[in-house]
Structure 1
Amino acid sequence: MKPSVTLPPPLLLLVLLVVAGLSRAQVKTSLLDLTSIRGVLPNLSRPANLSRIFYAVMFDAGSTGTRIHVYTFIQSDSEELPVLDNEMFHSIKPGLSAYADSPEVAGHTVRMLLKVAKKTVPRLEWKRTPVILRATAGLRLLAPEKAQALLDQVQHVFDESPFLVPDNSVSIMDGTNEGILAWISVNFLTGHLHPQTKKTVGILDLGGGSTQITFLPKLRKTIDSVPVADYIAGFDLLNSSFELYTHSYLGNGLMAARLAALGALGAEGLEWRVFKSSCLPKKFQDEWSFGGITYQVSGDPDGYSGYKHCYQEVLKVVKGIIHQPYELEDSNVFYAFSYYFDRAVDAGLIDGVKGGMLEVRDFKKRAKEVCNKMTKNSVGNPFLCMDMTYITCLLKDGFGFKESTMLQLTKKVNNVEASWALGATLDHFHNLKIH
């Protein structure tokens, strides 16, 4: 009696297909097809609880740039949040809103960034990897018909891509959601996002068009003393409900605040008007563009300059607009990112890679130094005085932080970009029921 021979499954399939009369090329295609459905059909040789790897592509269409985040997750238990294994990040400037009059160029920007996703996500996973774009303040500030033309162009690029395109894959994100999802991102990355959590971190996000503050209140009076109900928002996660203080201020992002401080917001006659500011070096004059519009800006050669006068200019952008929460507890650690981080780096306050802890008074002190020495400074960064003064004013007179409040300035948390994008991805997979 001849001994029986057991063939490995792929080899057994190869023999069967050859016997069936298929060519070697057809056999190769059949093996690829089998591989592509391996994740769909149950694999009886593997334990049912084995971890699986999946991917997601999230576009952040901001006012000053478009960014792509390609996330790699490991899911071991469907009842829990996945583990983030890796993030591939890339960005392109300017933002989509700069192409308000030529939306096809915006589509080309997205198409270029999709190449990053194709290189990062294995080809066999493309068809089940969702691709999503959320636009923020840049498109919120545009006329609705121009914003929609940009979104339609992005939708067309997505539809012709090899990735999974979910319903509502391209949209403008609500400002409140932006703050909540950024809070979810940072607390997920710092290990604070779990049921009955007692310790969380707050977030301060300063974009080009808008700024957000979000934290988990410890005192009921913080919730009861809000000016309107929409300062409090919640979401459900892991059978728990979270109630957050959160607000997004459209028009109080760093670039929009520059416009307002210059008196250029909604101004007419841009082709001949020059917008002067005591926040700029006296002899400075140049063009500056935001949102696809170019402005002539300059210092005031015959007027005043320096921190004190600059502060009065930016105060009008903040006063009476930013609500001061009843509670900004010292025990509530706040992570500040986006332009908070970038300008702290530009001012030499923190390391551009590591970030660092700063007190609010550190922004104030550096703003004074930059503004009062503008005539001696090179004009390489002419807006640094205005930006640092605005950040100081926003933190102190806006949100009401004490000068001694410590902020964690960061660009990345555990090597992942600090932004709302990760929270938005978790929301896509887990339906957080934000309300």
Structure 2
Amino acid sequence: ERTYEILKLFKPVPEASSRVFHGIMFDAGSTGTRIHIYKFIQKDPVELPVLDNEMYHAVKPGLSAYKDNPEEGGNTIRQLLKIAKKTVPEEEWRRTPVVLKATAGLRLLPEDKASALLKEVQEVFDESPFFVPNNSVSLMNGTNEGVLAWVTVNFLTGHLYSNTRRTVGILDLGGGSTQITFLPKSKKTIQSAPSNYIARFNLFNHTYQLYTHSYLGNGLYAARLATLGALGADGLDWKVFTSSCLPKKFREDVTFGGTTYKVSGIPDGYAGYKLCYYEVMKVIKGIVHQPYEVKGSSIFYAFSYYFDRAVESGLIDGSRGGAIEVRDFKKRAKEVCNKMTKYRAISPFLCMDMTYITCLLKEGFGFKENTVLQLAKKVNNVETSWALGATFDYFRNLNIH
């Protein structure tokens, strides 16, 4: 009965009528859980559906914070499903798929802790009135995270509809991992990349061959800890991790993924951009591959923490987003680090974060100072994230390899 319901989604529609359907996608990230409720209109059975609107809501902290109490984690999902019930008309519930994909926060947990959390989510889904497909709760691999974010942004910017093959690249900076994905123009990019950095999939009779990689441990929060030498360290109950990226008098407990670390500035040492850059460099150098082609003129959309930090440091306006160059991140990082007291109220980590972003873009991916980044939280009023691409993938298997 339920399988039959979902199959109807793929049945050709009588010419005159257009169908409305919904999809619910949970993004379980390292710093929060977000629900995306999409409303689609299928005007033409062969074409991509038209996205009518998105309802978005987020809760903090992420599921990984409940690693020792999975039931509590399940409750956060229950809360978000209440919003879905208010958004999707009741007569559509049983044919509206509900899916959760977890990313770096759960990838960084021990396997047994991660599966206990996912099992709990599965139980919450099973008691919900929505359609629960097979494999509705899973850990998403990093390749899909990058590819599906690319699909989202290029769909929203209209590039997937046009045949010009002009697409935009994406840069996604999460809490636990960071992704880079673009469509290479040059054969050399594909030939010189490690083979698992090239992903292929089909969409509308086009085969796309993308350069994509997800760096686990290089998301903003994981990188803070790595810079401090705390990621994967022992003796957390007595060790204090210090950095010249932090205000000298700063001292605080920092929690990430359900683990707490003691963190401080260097009271009698130096602080500032140069030293900080040298510290964050250790987290990037030799780890991040430089694609042959980023020296070119391709446009990249940057979102998630790239966007948030650009807003906090005053580089862009939070309601509009905007285009900046890589050198703007660098210039602002220097200002923030050399006036730490001024920015401390916004965040004592702003110097570290801005320096990390600068270093990741320049020394990591190898972007030139004048590469233009389009910073956007939303495109056409829809969140830039892998969630929309994953919903498409769900409705028509993209078969990413």
TM-score scaled by structure 2?
0.96
SS for the counterpart of 2:340 is coil
Q: 1:124 aligns with which of 91, 107, 110?
A: 91
Looking at CA atoms only, which structure, 1 or 2, has the larger radius of gyration?
1
SS for the counterpart of 2:45 is coil
Is the 2:297–2:371 contact (alpha carbons within 8 Å) kept by the matching residues of 1?
Answer: no
Q: Deviations over 1:143-186 (max 9, x none)?
A: 00000000000000000000000000000000000000000000
The structural deviation recorded for 1:316 is: 0.3
Residue 52 (structure 1) aligned with residue 15 (structure 2): no
SS for the counterpart of 2:288 is coil
For residue 378 of structure 2, what is the amino acid of its counterpart? K
TM-score scaled by structure 1?
0.88
Q: Deviations over 1:171-212 (max 9, x none)?
A: 000000000000000000011114744200000000000000
Distance across 1 between alignment mates of 2:307 and 2:7: 43
Is the 1:63–1:95 contact (alpha carbons within 8 Å) kept by the matching residues of 2?
Answer: yes
Residue 260 (structure 1) aligned with residue 226 (structure 2): yes
Distance across 2 between alignment mates of 1:418 and 1:194: 18
Alignment RMSD, CA only? 1.7
For residue 92 of structure 2, what is the amino acid of its counterpart? E
**Residue 337 of structure 2 aligns with which residue?**
371
Distance across 1 between alignment mates of 2:248 and 2:43: 61
Residue 388 (structure 1) aligned with residue 343 (structure 2): no
Q: Which runs of 5 or more residues in structure 2 are unaligned?
A: none
The size of the alignment, in residue pairs, is: 394
The structural deviation recorded for 1:40 is: 10
| 1:16-415 alignment runs, 5 A limit | 48-194=15-161, 196-226=163-193, 228-328=194-294, 330-415=296-381
Fraction of identical pairs, as percent? 72
For residue 273 of structure 1, what is the amino acid of its counterpart? K
The structural deviation recorded for 1:376 is: 4.6
Is the 2:22–2:37 contact (alpha carbons within 8 Å) kept by the matching residues of 1?
Answer: yes
Is the 2:343–2:350 contact (alpha carbons within 8 Å) kept by the matching residues of 1?
Answer: no
Is the 1:196–1:240 contact (alpha carbons within 8 Å) kept by the matching residues of 2?
Answer: no
For residue 250 of structure 1, what is the amino acid of its counterpart? L
Is the 1:281–1:379 contact (alpha carbons within 8 Å) kept by the matching residues of 2?
Answer: no
SS for the counterpart of 1:177 is helix
Q: Deviations over 1:73-97 (max 9, x none)?
A: 0001121100000000000000000
Structure scoring higher RCO (CA < 8 A, sep ≥ 6) equals: 2
Distance across 2 between alignment mates of 1:47 and 1:79: 12
For residue 354 of structure 2, what is the amino acid of its counterpart? M
Distance across 1 between alignment mates of 2:14 and 2:177: 48
For residue 182 of structure 1, what is the amino acid of its counterpart? A
**Residue 427 of structure 1 aligns with which residue?**
393
Q: Deviations over 1:339-396 (max 9, x none)?
A: 0000000101111111011100100001000101114544441000000000000000
Distance across 2 between alignment mates of 1:238 and 1:377: 48
For residue 235 of structure 2, what is the amino acid of its counterpart? G
Distance across 1 between alignment mates of 2:199 and 2:161: 18
SS for the counterpart of 2:81 is helix
Distance across 2 between alignment mates of 1:105 and 1:201: 39
Distance across 2 between alignment mates of 1:122 and 1:110: 19
Q: Deviations over 1:1-55 (max 9, x none)?
A: xxxxxxxxxxxxxxxxxxxxxxxxxxxxxxxxxxxx99999xxxx9643111000
The structural deviation recorded for 1:269 is: 1.2
Is the 1:195–1:238 contact (alpha carbons within 8 Å) kept by the matching residues of 2?
Answer: no
The structural deviation recorded for 1:273 is: 1.1
The structural deviation recorded for 1:398 is: 0.2
SS for the counterpart of 2:327 is helix
Is the 1:69–1:421 contact (alpha carbons within 8 Å) kept by the matching residues of 2?
Answer: yes
Distance across 2 between alignment mates of 1:47 and 1:273: 67
Distance across 1 between alignment mates of 2:5 and 2:116: 40
Is the 1:64–1:138 contact (alpha carbons within 8 Å) kept by the matching residues of 2?
Answer: yes
Q: Which runs of 5 or more residues in structure 1 are unaligned?
A: 1-36
